[in-house]
Structure 1
Amino acid sequence: MRRASGPPAAVPAPAAAAVLAALGCGVLLTGCGAPSGLGEGGPAPSATTEAQPKNLWPAWSPGSPAASDAAADPARQPAPDPLSGAPTVPPGGLAAMDQLDVLRADPRMARPAGRGAVDRPGTPGVRPAALHDLTGDRQPELISAVDLESGRMLLAVYTVREGQIVPVLHTSGLRPVVEAVGEDLVVRGPTADGGEQAVRYRWDGRRMVTASEVRSVRTTSPEPDAPTAPAPRTSSPGGTAPAPRTSSPEGPAPAPSTSPPRGPASAPSASTPGGPAPVRTTAPAAAPAAGPAGAP
């Protein structure tokens, strides 16, 4: 039977518009250049070297990396003012000054700094001064840390503005690791709830503010179940398991005789190693023929 032929079915207008739009997008995409984003013949972007963390007090840092308990946000603190009563900044800048003189002029650090300077970890006191450019003016800022008896560390950063010493960061943490990454300052250490936190501070033109804060929670994953040994087989596929064979010191035990009880069983023959002992059976002896009558 021949199928009737007729004019082709009309494509609805919305569907045709969608097909044309898809084809147009395909044409535009194919003209955008190489998959890498570079046009043919275009210059390759220059490679940049990422700044690596520089630990400011390696001897005071724990062996395992851990992040900072935390740090008050400088953005919520009042704008920093120069330290009143601070010594005059010499031509050599903060690098030419006594760190303790600067700390004593800071009301927030004067009392902790009374513990005096220390040159090795494990003793409360003022750590050796760290100098690093955090503002991008090629002049190093003074980074000071004071360890307390509780294990916490107080951190302060000072810069020079119009010849005056200005504190631009105050924070603290529980045995944190302090690193300079380029012009950023990173404070990492454990949190009170057992997690980890990393706070990155960056110069905003007036002070060091929080650029990023990453907090992680430590979770304990269940240990995988130990593999269990397969249970010993207690039965054979077709029935009960055979009893274990026992052997005497001289050799394997002979198998019991299967001869009928009417005649004496012959002694078993020696068995070959590795197999059951063969059994020899004997027929009952024939009775002697009767002699003539009257014979003795």
Structure 2
Amino acid sequence: MNLSRPRPRLLRRAPFAAAAVVVLAGCGSVDGLDAGEPAPSVSVQPRREPLWPAWSGTSSKAPGADTASRQPPPTSRQPPAATHQPPPEPLDGLPDVGKKGIGGLDFREVLRAGPRMRALADRPAIERPGRAGLRPPMLTDLTGDGKPELLVAADTESGRGVLAAYRALGGRVYPVLFASGKRVSIETLGPDLLRRLRTH
């Protein structure tokens, strides 16, 4: 009787048995929590917030003023096309930004200091869509540095909207965004700025 034969078979099966034990040991409870283990906290997801609600199409003060707000937010962040643009130059003719930040400046003076918005700086203030003029200026942190940027939007007689954003840095004011389009709606999604345009 040869007793040495079963040993090699057992030795060959031992690694498979050990692997099966390891795999099965990793299968704990199906919900991922053991008894008495606290559940992880839930993080709040950012929601779209209109900067100028009357222009968002969801306000009762502006029925029918839907400005393309029914489109879903972008699903992925695509990097902008590689273009070489010189860094923005600070605006001339403005006082140094003091302790109050960019919100301490007269927003119309900021518009007059920049060549793109100068022609719109003296338009009348408007509180809802339907007239040409300047929407109320908004301050919101778009860079995550804890300091708000100044956003100003103007509506023109042709139905186009113009948006400009300015940032204070080192006591100076820099233009950081200029955009225009037909029936523009501006929203924030967390620290991101969404510009929606009516396409039809």
Give the Cα separation in 1 of the matches to 2:182 and 2:24: 54
Map of 1:108 onto structure 2: 116
> 1:218-271: per-residue Cα shift (whole Å, max 9, x none)?
xxxxxxxxxxxxxxxxxxxxxxxxxxxxxxxxxxxxxxxxxxxxxxxxxxxxxx
Task: From the superposition, tell whether residues 146 and 99 of structure 1 become closer, same or farther in structure 2 (CA, over 3 Å).
Answer: same
The amino acid across from 2:70 in the alignment is A
Question: Map of 1:51-62 to 2, 5 A cutoff?
Answer: 51-62=46-57
Say yes or no: does 1:44 pair with 2:48: no
- Deviation of 1:166 after TM superposition, in Å, equals 1.3
Say yes or no: does 1:66 pair with 2:74: no
Task: From the superposition, tell whether residues 66 and 27 of structure 1 become closer, same or farther in structure 2 (CA, over 3 Å).
Answer: same
- Deviation of 1:39 after TM superposition, in Å, equals 6.1
- Deviation of 1:67 after TM superposition, in Å, equals 4.3
Stretches of structure 2 lacking an aligned partner (at least 5 in a row): 1-12, 59-65, 73-79
Seq. identity, %: 46
Q: Which has the higher contact order (CA 8 A, sep 6+)?
A: 2
Task: From the superposition, tell whether residues 81 and 34 of structure 1 become closer, same or farther in structure 2 (CA, over 3 Å).
Answer: farther
Task: From the superposition, tell whether residues 87 and 25 of structure 1 become closer, same or farther in structure 2 (CA, over 3 Å).
Answer: farther
**Do the aligned partners of 1:33 and 1:40 also contact (CA within 8 Å) in 2?**
no
Give the Cα separation in 1 of the matches to 2:113 and 2:194: 25
Task: From the superposition, tell whether residues 42 and 67 of structure 1 become closer, same or farther in structure 2 (CA, over 3 Å).
Answer: same
> 1:50-93: per-residue Cα shift (whole Å, max 9, x none)?
2232211112233443349xxxx597443323223333223211
Map of 1:293 onto structure 2: none
> 1:166-185: per-residue Cα shift (whole Å, max 9, x none)?
12222223212211222221
RMSD: 3.1
Instruction: Calculate the TM-score normalised by the size of structure 1.
Output: 0.49
The amino acid across from 1:162 in the alignment is G
Say yes or no: does 1:33 pair with 2:28: yes
Give the Cα separation in 2 of the matches to 1:112 and 1:75: 31
> 1:100-153: per-residue Cα shift (whole Å, max 9, x none)?
110111112112334343343212122110111222233221111011222111
Tell me which protein shows more helix as a share of its residues.
Answer: 2
Stretches of structure 1 lacking an aligned partner (at least 5 in a row): 1-16, 195-296
**Do the aligned partners of 1:67 and 1:190 also contact (CA within 8 Å) in 2?**
no
The structure 1 residue matched to 2:174, chosen from 166, 190, 194, is: 166
